[in-house]
Amino acid sequence: MSLPHLNDSLAPTSVTLENVRKTFARYPALNGVSLDIAPGELIALLGPSGSGKTTLLRIIAGLEFPDDGRVSFGDQEVTFAHAAQRGVGFVFQQYALFKHMTVAKNITFGLDVKSGKDKPTAAARKARCEELLDLVELSGLGGRFPSQLSGGQRQRVALARALAVSPRILLLDEPFGALDATVRKTLRRELRRLHDATGLTTVFVTHDQEEALDLADRVALLNAGRIEQVGTPQQILDHPASAFVAGFVGEANALKGATLGGVFALGAAKLAAQGVADGVATAFIRPEQFTLADAGEDGLAIRLDRATQRGPLLWLEGATPDGQPVEAAVLAEGAGPLRVGATIQLSVRSARVFGAADPDLGIPMRGAR
């Protein structure tokens, strides 16, 4: 028996979640989550700790079962199918490699334990291992043990092991969380390359928004067991569906003010707020959406506490007259001398305004991560 090569893999499989609910000891981990994942898509489940993203991944994997709802792979319902029946590859944050086995034996473990006609020949298993070692750029290291590898190399072995059994879907739970920042960035690029090479439907969990926005075709942002928004990274950044999304994704100043007649007032600054009810509201303004106001222009007045040049940008930190902190990134060229302690005027190019009816979900006032 021979295994399909990576470029001869099965057609990508869609994943459909319908009104999935899960409770642990009366704690609602998932509250009616519905999500369609397209065949061959790389989608990130992003959210803070406790948002339900890992529970959702484990339900897709068959490591947990929902209390209610349906899970389907393509046109096949798998809601209560066990993990071994689903044909998924799973990569854990801590690698979960067998320390007493060589790299090669770790990679082929899922093939070695098959029995009967399902078990590939020794030659086929060896060929698959060599193919995967080449794919994850670890050629020649099959004879080493996990302890002889770096953290990044061990994670590559974990990826190769997950791919060895020709999964229908690849699932990754915080795959780079145990690695340092430099290695994480390198492996992010590698994961995208592997995804493009295999064409597998891929779902990965992360709390790192930079990772999600850099890697994914689409991002599903979870909070308190619900999906707040699903969209491309650019859609999530430019068109947040709620105050939570606006504050959680990207760096944003969350400034309190009031709306009246579709206009948000923040001191002398006036911002469009169509569709926002009159009353208390919050404007989310990214640092790069500020510019220095022209002479005589009504803008947002801030007391300048610090000015730091970072390349072509001048990073300004200060506070409004009522004490709300503000960070702005403006072009250094033409900014002129700015004196710490002075009051400066900022113009706002664009902002997202949400009224008080959009619940306050504990969003940081600035620099939301």
Alpha carbon 360 to chain centroid distance?
Answer: 22
Calpha distance 222→224 (Å, rounded): 7
Inter-helix orientation angle 122-135/151-164, to 10°: 130
- Whether the pLDDT of residue 361 is over 60: the answer is no
367 belongs to a structural domain: no
Last residue of a domain, one of 186, 214, 238: 238
- Same domain, yes or no, for 37 and 68? yes
CATH number, domain with residue 319: 2.40.50.140
127 belongs to a structural domain: yes
- Same domain, yes or no, for 266 and 141? no
Read off the pLDDT band of 259 (50, 70, 90): very high
Last residue of a domain, one of 204, 238, 272: 238
53 belongs to a structural domain: yes
Judge contact between 222 and 236, C-beta under 8 A.
no
pLDDT in tens, 187-239: 888 889 889 988 999 999 998 899 999 999 999 999 999 999 999 999 999 89
Please give the pLDDT value at position 363: 42
Judge contact between 168 and 13, C-beta under 8 A.
yes
- Same domain, yes or no, for 194 and 280? no
Token pair 């640092």 is found at 287
Which of 53, 277, 257 is closest to 174 using CA atoms? 53
Global pTM reads 0.86
- Whether the pLDDT of residue 101 is over 60: the answer is yes
Question: Residues 280-287: what's their mean pLDDT?
Answer: 94
Q: Is 56 helix (H, G, I), strand (E, B) or coil?
A: helix
For the chain, give the percent of residues with pLDDT over 70.
93
CATH number, domain with residue 18: 3.40.50.300
Read off the pLDDT band of 172 (50, 70, 90): very high
Judge contact between 156 and 3, C-beta under 8 A.
no
Question: Residues 292-312: what's their mean pLDDT?
Answer: 89
335 belongs to a structural domain: yes
- Same domain, yes or no, for 134 and 280? no
Last residue of a domain, one of 207, 238, 269: 238
Of residues 119 and 364, the one with the higher pLDDT is 119
- Same domain, yes or no, for 209 and 259? no
Calpha distance 185→50 (Å, rounded): 25
Question: Residues 339-364: what's their mean pLDDT?
Answer: 77
363 belongs to a structural domain: no
- Same domain, yes or no, for 257 and 223? no
Please give the pLDDT value at position 357: 59
Please give the pLDDT value at position 229: 97
Question: Residues 335-355: what's their mean pLDDT?
Answer: 90
- Same domain, yes or no, for 176 and 201? yes
- Whether the pLDDT of residue 342 is over 60: the answer is yes
Which of 308, 42, 349, 324 is closest to 195 using CA atoms? 42
369 belongs to a structural domain: no
In one-letter notation, the amino acid at residue 355 is G
- Same domain, yes or no, for 21 and 121? yes
Q: Rounded to 5 degrees, what are φ and ψ at 126?
A: -65, -40
CA separation, residue 4 to residues 8, 14, 41 (Å): 6, 20, 21
What domain range includes position 281?
Answer: 252-355
Rounded to the nearest integer, the mean pLDDT of the chain is 88
Which of 28-42, 123-137, 163-177 has the largest mean confidence? 28-42
- Same domain, yes or no, for 79 and 175? yes
- Same domain, yes or no, for 130 and 229? yes
Read off the pLDDT band of 14 (50, 70, 90): very high
285 belongs to a structural domain: yes
Overall number of domains in the chain: 2
360 belongs to a structural domain: no
- Same domain, yes or no, for 131 and 232? yes
- Same domain, yes or no, for 173 and 262? no
